[in-house]
Structure 1
Amino acid sequence: MTSRSRHGVHLSRDYDYDAVVCGAGVAGLAAARGLGGLGLRVLVLDKQHTPRDVAKGEVLQPGALRVLRRWGTEEALRRRGAVGLDRLVVRSDRGAPLMTLDYGQLPEGDRKLLAHEHLAILHTLAQDLPPTVELRRGTLVREALREDDGRVGGVLLTSQDTRAAAAEAVEVRAPLVVAADGISSRLRRAAGIEGQRVEYPHRLVSLELTPPGPLPHDFSAYLTDRGLRLVYPLPGGRVRLYLQTEPDELRGLTADGFADWLARAVREVPALDGLVPALPEAVGSKQTFAVGRYLADRLAAPGLALVGEAAYAVHPMAAQGMNTAITSAASLAEQIARALDGSAPGDGGARLGAAAADAALRAYEEERRPTLVQAAKTSANAARMVTDLAWPGRVVGRRAVRCTGANARLLHTVTHNMAGLGPRPLTPLDRLQQIGLLPDPRAHRVPTA
């Protein structure tokens, strides 16, 4: 029996699933894949009837690829035409490399990135879900359900079918609820988990192009007087282009006005001349979005785990967001696996019990949050180095690019961190050497491990 109080829905422990995952983006699908791989019965819910085609989450780092390799998803993406890259490069507007993160120096098996469009990554993850996972789209999660002791024990949901005048609310019970419902997560707010979102003082415009000439062969960020220009290849002879803009720079522009703005913005970067012929046809692919960063104060509460942008969001420049979502989902599944060993079965036929779930959530928080804190610093520093147009930030950022680019030791550390292979924090001394305020006698000593 369940009862409703002014604080929400309270229920006894009689579970319908082992886990309910709220959100079918990369984070939610990765969590479902990891949990379903343990033989758990998992329900994935998403309010969208079909996945949205958005310009995000297209470059997979080696740390995430380690996870996808275990699941067989990496090979599936390669069969779908994913493009392999081996470098992240910060360049001048004429294309001269200023700082090159060479993935070829990383351990065997971790020397490539993969690029594919976001929808292809979502579809591949969805097709690889184990048979114990049910994916239900067009369903809105209205609120979390609370057990008698206050822990989260399920969700209240309704269909998003617009043909239904009044969709019936349905309670779904599970000892584990995974909030993968984005940066505005309703479940995170319901759990009382705080965090601060910081908006960057610019926007990004994304376009997809099919240039007539050779494709770029790496992930390149160009430094310009008007901010970031980011380019990398996609399958099928296509290219993704990001352009930094002032918040109101494009406001009120007609389609022709935007086409003129775009042509000027690309022609200002001589290294991008090869993209100019493809610009007219690319105008229709324009997506514009605000950019911010966010890190939740906690990653878990009793019965509830946060993954993906519900927990952590960063600037796209460093290609960290999707990758930390995948590795966080894998970490959660690993902690659940450990907690399942020797644990009592759950109630109502569930394999996972509340005690085992909460033990795993505590371990997930302890293992994962320091990694996300470090990844947030790495991403914020990388974004600031190439996007800050204020005079002091621009001077420091350009200096950091040049000094880091000339220091093999720091380059190797930054590459390792960007690849998601485990945090290697830069010390205060490293930071001073990174902006050239102190000499580095170890600059040519690249770590062997």
Structure 2
Amino acid sequence: MDADVVVCGAGVAGLAAACALSIRGLRVLLLEKQAEPTRIAKGEVLQPGALGVLREWHVAQRLELRGALRLDRLVARDPAGTPLMALEYDRLRDQERCLLAHDYPVILEALEDRLDDHVELRRGVLVRDVLRETTGRVAGVRITEGGQEREVRAKLVVAADGLSSRLRKVAGIEVRREEYPHRLAAFDIADAPEVEQDFSAYVSERGLRLRYPLPGGRVRLYVQVEPDELRGLGRDAMARWIDELVRDTPALAPLAGALRASAANRQVLPVSRFLAPQLGVPGLALVGETGHAVHPMAAQGMNTSITDAECLARHLGGELTPSSVDAAVGAYQRQRLPELVHIGQTSHNAARMITDLSWSGRVVGRRALRCTGGNERLRYTVMHNMAGLGQHRLTVLDRLHQIGVLPDPRAHRLPTWA
């Protein structure tokens, strides 16, 4: 069962890593503890940066053939639906100029279908620990499969086993997760009336309401809630809660009937953020949610998992030796960590504009949305960053323009780098 690379976890990050590594001719053993993929409201919107990678792998084409929806805008709206800030992706000067939306299980299937003969996928396998050389370098994993324990040796172990990663812990990489004070209630609304083909975030007095279409006449709706707000609500109480939601955000009124019919399938998800202080140790690399997590408001989580995998694979080349693998993991970390710091801060700032319910948070957040929305230079920069096409950091002066403290003489033209 030995391989060049063992990838632990077959979510988007693990499947993307297996794709990227196998394309470069490496023998990959992909291990997943779940016998079947689980359905969860996550990872449904692809940004242009990750979409470009998936198109190179011929995965984006598979998603389009399976009915993926093209979304041309990411829009922040007031409760009545009036745009406060619109990021118009068709204005990007890149090959991929849209968002693509599909169900998470379908995205997993499209990635799995892309795996070639260099990859062996085994489900129902629990990775219990890592194997180490006498130097302490990771040299493989110890697994349990079918009630039997085995050892698998590999030149590189890729940890893609999620937020509560066992491998991250045994590698000695500690993370400090920061929990947001709210939760997100996720609704899969079937038989919904047609909505605009965009990714819309509504700014209400009670926080975020996020809505986008999915294939099959469905709509995904996320609602910011208190931790126990929906606990134990029966049908009648849930109907009253939906009535309050519509009063709070009138733009959602057309969805109310379909939402009532679909409310029983809701999921309430905790929301946190973190970035591991390092993305690897000798013989082991972290990708995806094993190494970082962000608020879903800016649609960055799944996308950074895909670009993590591509970045790691790009640094692995030629004959794999312990020294070449460890050099590649080091290069991956040096390139990726600063990028992830910026992505994490961009996501946090975007979420805070809408989810912060304090008086000061509401005032500053709404002002930032309106001022950014009215500033072509800042709006394009924010869109480019969120699209995953590169990092162009906002300066202190930009931040002052963003909240309207200082006028911006360059507000009506594109940034010079564009």
Bin of the TM-score, shorter chain as denominator length: over 0.9
Per-residue deviation, 1:261: 1.4
Q: Is the 8 A contact 1:211 1:275 kept in 2?
A: no
Give, in whole Å, the separation in 2 of the partners of 1:266 and 1:23. Answer: 39
Residues 192 and 219 of structure 2 are in contact (CA less than 8 Å); yes or no, is this contact kept in structure 1?
no
| C-alpha contact 2:138 2:284 (8 A) present in aligned 1 | yes
2:374 aligned to which of 386, 406, 417: 406
- CA distance in 1 between counterparts of 2:340 and 2:252 reads 34
> Equivalents in 2 of 1:266, 1:139: separation in Å?
45
RMSD: 1.3
CA deviations 1:402-432 (Å, max 9, x no partner) are 1111111000000000000011111111111
Within the alignment, does 1:358 sit opposite 2:326 as a pair?
A: yes
The question of 1:182 aligning with 2:166 is answered no
Alpha carbons 1:216, 1:231 under 8 Å: kept: no
Map 1:6-85 → 2, pairs under 5 A = 16-85=2-71
Q: Is the 8 A contact 1:85 1:114 kept in 2?
A: yes
Listed one character per residue, the Cα deviations across residues 338-394 of structure 1 (whole Å, up to 9, x for unaligned) are: xx2xx4xxxxxxxx2212211110110111111101000100000000111011111
The alignment status of 1:384 with 2:370, answered yes or no, reads no
Equivalent-residue separation in structure 1 for 2:121 and 2:246 (angstroms): 42
Contact 1:215 1:237 in 2 (8 A): no
- Match for 2:224: what amino acid? Q
SS of match in other structure, 2:117 = coil
Residue 211 of structure 1: CA displacement? 4.3
AA matched with 1:145: L
- Give 1:298 shift: 0.5
One-letter code aligned to 1:63? G
The answer as to 2:219 corresponding to 1:239 is yes
Quote the offset at 1:175 in angstroms: 1.1
Instruction: Give the alignment of 1:306-317 within 5 angstroms.
Output: 306-317=286-297
CA contact (8 A) 2:356 2:362 kept: yes
Residue type of the partner of 1:20?
V
Counterpart-to-counterpart distance in 1, 2:116 and 2:129: 27
Change (3 A) 1:353 1:393: same
Instruction: Give the alignment of 1:293-304 within 5 angstroms.
Output: 293-304=273-284
Structure 1 counterpart SS, 2:410: coil
Count residues with an aligned counterpart: 417
Q: Any gaps of 5 or more consecutive residues in structure 2?
A: none
Q: Take 1:382 and 1:205, find their aligned partners in 2: how far apart are those partners?
A: 19
In 2 relative to 1, CA 285–171 (structure 1 residues): closer, same or farther, beyond 3 Å? same
Q: Which residue of 1 aligns with 2:188?
A: 208
Aligned match of 2:313? 333
- Bigger Rg over Cα: 1
**What does residue 156 of structure 1 align with?**
142
1:223–1:386: 8 Å Cα contact kept in structure 2? yes
Question: Are residues 1:93 and 2:93 paired?
Answer: no
Query: Using the alignment, how far apart are the partners of 1:255 and 1:175 within structure 2?
Result: 54
Q: Shift of the alpha carbon at 1:56?
A: 0.3
Distance 1:182 1:386 in 2: 27
Q: Secondary structure at the match of 1:326?
A: helix
- Partners in 2 of 1:49 and 1:260 — Cα distance? 39
Distance 2:278 2:94 in 1: 34
Superposition deviation, residue 256 in structure 1: 3.5
Alignment partner, residue 122 of structure 2? 136
How big is the shift at 1:55?
Answer: 0.3
Structure 1: which amino acid aligns with 2:297? Answer: M
Superposition deviation, residue 267 in structure 1: 4.1
Q: CA deviation at 1:102?
A: 1.0
Contact kept, 8 Å, 2:184 with 2:225, in 1: the verdict is yes
- Distance in 1 (CA, whole Å) between partners of 2:183 and 2:195 is 25
**TM-score w.r.t. length of structure 1:** 0.91
Which residue of structure 2 lines up, in the alignment, with residue 435 of structure 1? 403
CA contact (8 A) 1:226 1:389 kept: yes
CA gap of 1:249–1:212, structure 2 versus 1, over 3 A, is: closer
Q: Which amino acid letter does the alignment assign opposite residue 404 of structure 1? A: T
* Kept after mapping to 1: 8 A contact 2:205/2:248: no
**1:169 aligned counterpart, secondary structure:** strand
Aligned partner of 1:47: which letter? K
Aligned counterparts of 2:264 and 2:303: Cα–Cα separation in 1: 28
CA distance in 1, matches of 2:246, 2:307: 35
**Rounded Cα–Cα distance in structure 2 between residues aligned with 1:36 and 1:263:** 51
Out of 319, 332, 342, the residue aligned to residue 374 of structure 1 is 342
Question: Are the aligned partners of 1:211 and 1:277 in contact in 2 as well (CA < 8 Å)?
Answer: no
Q: 1:265 Cα shift?
A: 1.2
SS state at 1:48 partner: coil
Instruction: Give the SS at the match of 1:445.
Output: coil
Asked whether the 8 Å contact 1:315–1:383 carries over to 2, the reply is: yes
Does the CA contact (< 8 Å) of 1:227 and 1:386 recur in 2?
Answer: yes
Output the amino acid matched with 1:400.
A
